[in-house]
Structure formats: structure tokens, C-alpha cells
Amino acid sequence: MEVGRRTALALPWLCAAPAFAQGGRPARLIVPFPAGGTTDLLARLTTDRLAARLGHPVVVENRAGAAGGVAAAEAARGDADGSTLFLASIGTAATNPLVYRHLPYRTEDLAEVAALFALPNVATVAPRAPFPDLAGFIAAAREKPGALSFGSSGAGSSLHLTGEMLKHRAGIDLLHVPYRGGGQMLTELLAGRIDIAFGNLPTAIGMIRDGTLRALAVTGPRRNPALPDIPTVAEAANLSGFAATVWFGLQVPRATPAPVVERLNEAAQAMLAEPAVRARLAELGVEPMGGSPADFSRFVQDEAAAWRPVITGAGISVE
């Protein structure tokens, strides 16, 4: 009798899953940053391939603001039927609660579906900048404390935290200049309004390759295969153990039924396994991730634990 009761309770969601997968109204992927940057680029790759796997349209909805907080709040209150998806970032899922005193959302109101993409940031300067390398930039910053500036895609963003980590580890004083997105930040860098920019690698890689930007270092734990000649920050600045990796994953409102979450996870795993997708990610310097919803949840917890001492040690706090 108990088995029959459990089966009867599960039937509505078991029946709903095929309908969700085969058609119905379009799903929306809420993206926490504006169009034109790495997050948007990866979001559009995701929606294209998820739509093919799920059998219905998935559209990008950019909601910039509060280092992803505006988008996370919108996703958390969305319909919990598989039609509301959220492209979570390291900021929205792991570091925002450590940085912001007040957030417009609660991380527990969103549930993990799958880890998707991991990538480094890259420190870039304008081609004619007077710094020959990252060590030269750090030396200049030490000579004139507070005179040099770095840009980011917003207060509390992974780009901001990367700059703060460099300040903390190298013992330098830099002025932080936040922008609304990575594209705007790089435009300001080329215009000479900031001295260095920490950008997501896919946003900057085309400009690095054509010489529009000059890369000083990547922030990952090892050199990136897409730019094998560019040293890591640890190498370039003799800062052992320095590593700042950005990542993105798929989340849904917490009340989304488990069968729908599993269906979305299966679609995400299939997307990441596609040879064409993997080739495109490699070209951009992005590593596919993957794993179960539980794997992603543990990863988020581990990332928050790893960043906590960095954020508290540097005294990073945003109202």
C-alpha cells in the first residue's frame, strides 16, 4: 500500500516531465549581466543547445544589476515548472552573500541543476601601456600607492574580487572602478580611463589575439590552452598559489520538482558532451564542467568556503 501511495503521489510530476521536455511555452534563461560579455555569450550557447535537447525554445533574458542580485531575485520568484532557468555565477551562488550586507534574494531560494563552465580571468592593458608585464605593473603601483586603477564588471563581481586579491597578495593600493559589464570595462581601458582590467577570458580573447589588448597574466591555477604563452598571475608576479577561477551553472527556483531538475540536468550533460560545444569552449578558453545537482551543490559550498578568508582578509564589503 505504501509503495502504491508513493507512486500515486509521484505520478503528476512523472507525467509532467515528458510534456515539459517535448513542448509547451518557451523557457527563459535569466542572465545576471548585460549583453555583450562572457556571461551573455555562454548563455546564448546554452539556450541554443538546451532548446535542441528539450524540444522547446529557451530565450535569454538579461537582468543586470547588483552583481547579479537583480537577476537572482527574479529567478527565485519565477515559475517552478522548468520554464524559469537561471545562469548562476560564482558571485550569485557563492560570494555575494560574503560580500554584500543586503541582497535582494536568498541563495537557498534557488536549487542547483548542473555546473556548466569554468574559466580564468585575464589581466589586460592597452597596447601602449607603460607596463611591460604584471611585475612591472605591480612595481609601478608600489611607487605610487592609489594612483593606478583597475576596472571590473561591478562591485562584488568576480572581476572585482580578482583585483582585490591581487591588491591583498601583492601589497599594493589600487583604485577600483566598477562598470556595468565586461564590454564597457574594456572600452574604458582602451580609452585610457583605467590602467588595468581583469576580464573574463572569453570577453577579451579576440581582442588579445588581434592585438587590440595586451594580456599580462591569466588568473587560473595553470596556463590556459587557448593562450599558452600568457603566464599565470602566480608565475608573472611570483605569487605562489594565486588562483581565481570563474564559473557558471544552471539553477532553478527551489520548488521546481525533482523530475524536472533531473531532465534539465540530463539536457545540460548532453550539451556539454557535444563535440561542437567542447570545441567552441576550448576556442574561448572555457572548460566544461558537468556533474549531478548534488555535485554542483557541494561545489558551491566548497567555493564559498574557499573565498571566505580571501574576502574577509581583504576587508571587502558592499552595502
Which among 121, 120, 122, 119 is positioned nearest to 214, based on CA atoms? Answer: 122
194: three-class secondary structure by DSSP = coil
What pLDDT does residue 24 have? 62
Local mean pLDDT, 10-residue blocks, the chain (319 residues): 38 40 75 88 96 95 89 97 97 94 94 98 97 97 97 86 93 93 90 96 95 97 96 97 95 98 98 97 97 98 93 84
CB-CB neighbours of 158 under 10 Å: 27
What pLDDT does residue 184 have? 87
- Cα dihedral 317, 41, 88, 85 sign: positive
What pLDDT does residue 5 have? 38
CA dihedral 214, 96, 183, 246 (to 10 degrees): 50
Query: DSSP letter at 67?
Result: G
145, with CB counted inside 10 A (0-12, 13-18, 19+), is exposed
Q: 214-218 and 196-200 as β-strands: parallel, antiparallel, unpaired?
A: unpaired
What pLDDT does residue 4 have? 41
What pLDDT does residue 157 have? 84
What pLDDT does residue 319 have? 75
What pLDDT does residue 25 have? 76
What predicted TM-score, i.e. pTM, was given to this entire model? 0.86
What pLDDT does residue 1 have? 39
Q: What is the end-to-end Cα distance of the chain in Å, rounded?
A: 55
